[in-house]
């Protein structure tokens, strides 16, 4: 997981941009929705095999997507619906990107990698689901190799690699994401046992 120190450095660095959004009176939910549209564009670029451009757009979209929470906190507009909307659209964002990658593989006769990417979609959703379900049980479950931020960083970085390396990195991405699901299941199991004692 990306630690709090890195997150604080990130927030400090982009604080001037956030202040501009505040001056323009842009609502946090607008930023959330716009970030999803940017991720959709990234996914479309991946379908065409424009991986470098897709990675750059995904980088921009991922940065943009963090601004909504920063604006909400600075303007006291933090809300349950805003948090819900952000989490929901985050799942769509990953779906857009990974589906775009899967479509590219399928169109280019690399069906096995397309199937692996579909499994990556499933694993990514399950990482988020296990955390949400754990929190519903009153157990904190934020740990694991591939949280959402780590997954986005991974996908952005490998977008700049040659295709023959990229294919194997997608396998690694899928494996690590699935391992994260297993990690969180074990964390919840331990947490439940502690509550029962």
Beta carbons of 137 and 148 less than 8 angstroms apart: no
In the predicted structure, residue 79 carries a pLDDT above the cut 60: yes
Domain that holds residue 170: 4-196
DSSP-assigned states of every residue in 127-149: HHHHHHHHHHTT-----SS--HH
CATH code, domain carrying 147: 1.20.120.1760
Q: What mean pLDDT is predicted for residues 33-45?
A: 93
pLDDT (tens digit, 9 = 90+) per residue, 104-156? 999 999 999 999 999 999 999 999 999 988 888 888 888 888 988 899 999 99
For residues 197 and 194, what is the distance between their CA atoms, to the nearest angstrom?
5
**What's the domain count of the chain?**
1
pTM metric for this prediction? 0.87
Confidence of residue 184 (pLDDT cuts 50, 70, 90): very high
């Amino acid at each position: 997981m990306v630690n709090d120190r890195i997150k604080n450095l990130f927030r400090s660095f982009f604080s001037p941009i956030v202040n501009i959004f505040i001056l323009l009176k842009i609502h946090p939910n607008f930023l959330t929705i716009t970030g999803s549209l940017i991720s959709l564009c990234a996914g479309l670029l991946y379908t065409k095999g424009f991986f470098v451009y897709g990675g750059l757009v995904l980088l921009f979209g991922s940065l943009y997507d963090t601004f909504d929470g920063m604006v909400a906190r600075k303007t006291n507009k933090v809300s349950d619906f805003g948090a819900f909307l952000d989490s929901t659209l985050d799942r769509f964002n990953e779906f857009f990107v990974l589906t775009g990658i899967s479509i590219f593989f399928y169109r280019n006769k690399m069906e096995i990698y397309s199937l692996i990417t579909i499994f990556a979609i499933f694993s990514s959703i399950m990482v988020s689901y296990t955390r949400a379900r754990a929190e519903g049980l009153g157990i904190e479950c934020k740990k694991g190799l591939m949280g959402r931020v780590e997954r986005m960083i991974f996908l952005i970085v490998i977008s700049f690699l040659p295709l023959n390396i990229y294919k194997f990195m997608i396998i690694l991405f899928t494996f690590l994401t699935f391992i994260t699901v297993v990690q969180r299941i074990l964390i919840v199991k331990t947490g439940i046992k502690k509550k029962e004692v």
